Amino acid sequence: QKEVEQDPGPLSVPEGAIVSLNCTYSNSAFQYFMWYRQYSRKGPELLMYTYSSGNKEDGRFTAQVDKSSKYISLFIRDSQPSDSATYLCAIQAGNQFYFGTGTSLTVIP
């Protein structure tokens, strides 16, 4: 079983929609969770970092962690065409980072 699983999509939504991206993880000991955005032919860029259950909000982005279900989510409100990218969830365990496969998102104007 992989440490983190993510639906690869692709996901296509109209501009202004609310987007929900999700991952599940295998080890209940994991404590540090991240969401990255990766544009084509670029390196990943950190969007959100959270280390506890509950919600963390930053502008149009909300990261949610449910440790009881081992489920992490990223919500994007009022999605924009510039949000079109691949979104990767990641978990930090010691010195290592485990990434999901990424979900490809397209926001249609």
Footprint on this chain of another protein (rule: CB under 8 A): 6, 8, 32, 41-46, 49, 51, 88, 90, 92, 94-102
Give whichever of 41 and 109 is closer to another protein, judged by the CB atom: 41
Contact 67, 73 (CB under 8 A): no
Helix, strand or coil for residue 49? Answer: strand
Nearer to another protein, 10 or 16 (CB): 10
> Least Å distance between CB 4 and another protein?
8
Q: Indicate the DSSP class of residue 82.
A: G
Cα distance from N-terminal residue to C-terminal residue, the chain: 38
